[in-house]
């Protein structure tokens, strides 16, 4: 573990006040705080804290804020870097660019397919469509806030059209499943296209018809098209997950691709049998 800084200590004390911190996590933090108050060195205290958090950290089972803290004290690499929210906001308000919001299941798997395309300026993971302001990840995944996990995409319409983004979207989701996506179940993983204006709505509805009419799927297309609602950024840990946890992401993305491929093959086989 690297040397502990004043910034680490400040973050640590803020975690004690973080409402999203789980009881077990808070117990470990309080224990560490008491050790510091008793005069133990920060290096020793944080080493013990890292050891207690490690079993859940390696299973990605800590709350996002605690995960960020854990990664910051155990590494200096990309995992601990802060997402540049200001950069995204600046792009969002730039008159040269347009933006889109898509919900397609877990946002861990819906950033890379868009972010690496020419003309895409920025992609932010977040929550939208619900009735709670500034929701946390735990609140959203409790399925009680009405929010879905989604991505907000800022793009240059001279290089990437909204219609092209829609084509990508339909390729990475199961449009017949309105109770989640692939292995992620529940309302917070519903596939929804959120539109900002009539032009986007018309294009979204046309693209949906393009999916329905060829009869590519044996089940109804259930993706909703709704007016855009406030978009709340997700915690730092969730931003650009494919960069922070490449092995975990690749395993998830491979499973997703295999599921979607098998679904298409199954439909083709069903048609031949009929």
Report helix angle 23-37 to 42-57, nearest 10: 170
Q: Is 109 a catalytic residue?
A: no
3-state SS, residue 149 = strand
CB contact at 8 A, 97 and 155: yes
By the 10 Å C-beta count (0-12 exposed, 13-18 middle, 19+ buried), 4 is classed as: middle
State the Cα–Cα distance between residues 252 and 23, nearest whole angstrom. Answer: 29
Beta strand pairing status for 184-185 and 191-195? Answer: unpaired
The Cα–Cα gap between 258 and 262 comes to: 6
- Strands 148-155 and 120-128, sheet pairing: antiparallel
Q: Which two tokens stand for residue 150?
A: 């989604």
Q: What are phi and psi of 122, to 5 degrees?
A: -160, 145
Would you call 264 helix, strand, or coil by DSSP?
helix
Instruction: Tell me which of 15, 32, 45, 106 is the catalytic residue.
Output: 106
Residues designated as active site: 106
């Amino acid at each position: 573990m690297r040397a502990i800084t004043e910034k680490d200590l400040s973050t640590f004390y803020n975690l004690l006040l973080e409402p999203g911190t789980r009881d077990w996590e808070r117990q470990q933090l309080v224990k560490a705080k008491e050790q510091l108050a008793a005069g133990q060195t920060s290096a020793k205290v944080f080493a013990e804290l890292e050891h207690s958090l490690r079993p859940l950290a390696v299973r990605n089972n800590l709350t996002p804020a605690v995960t960020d803290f854990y990664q910051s004290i155990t590494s200096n690499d990309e995992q601990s870097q802060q997402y540049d929210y200001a950069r995204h906001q600046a792009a969002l308000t730039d008159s040269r660019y347009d933006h889109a919001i898509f919900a397609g299941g877990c946002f861990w798997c819906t950033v890379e397919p868009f972010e690496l395309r020419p003309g895409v300026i920025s992609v932010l993971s977040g929550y939208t469509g619900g009735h709670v302001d500034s929701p946390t990840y735990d609140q959203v995944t409790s399925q009680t806030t009405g929010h879905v996990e989604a991505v907000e995409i800022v793009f240059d319409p001279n290089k990437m059209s909204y219609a092209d983004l829609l084509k990508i979207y339909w390729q990475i989701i199961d449009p017949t499943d309105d109770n989640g996506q692939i292995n992620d179940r529940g309302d917070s993983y519903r596939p929804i296209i959120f539109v900002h204006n009539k032009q986007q709505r018309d294009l979204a509805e046309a693209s949906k018809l393009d999916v329905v009419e060829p009869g590519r799927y044996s089940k109804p297309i259930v993706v909703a098209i709704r007016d855009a609602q406030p978009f709340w950024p997700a915690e730092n840990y969730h931003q650009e997950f494919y960069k922070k946890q490449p092995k975990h992401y690749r395993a998830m993305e491979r499973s997703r691709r295999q599921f979607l491929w098998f679904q298409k093959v199954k439909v083709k086989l069903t048609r031949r049998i009929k």
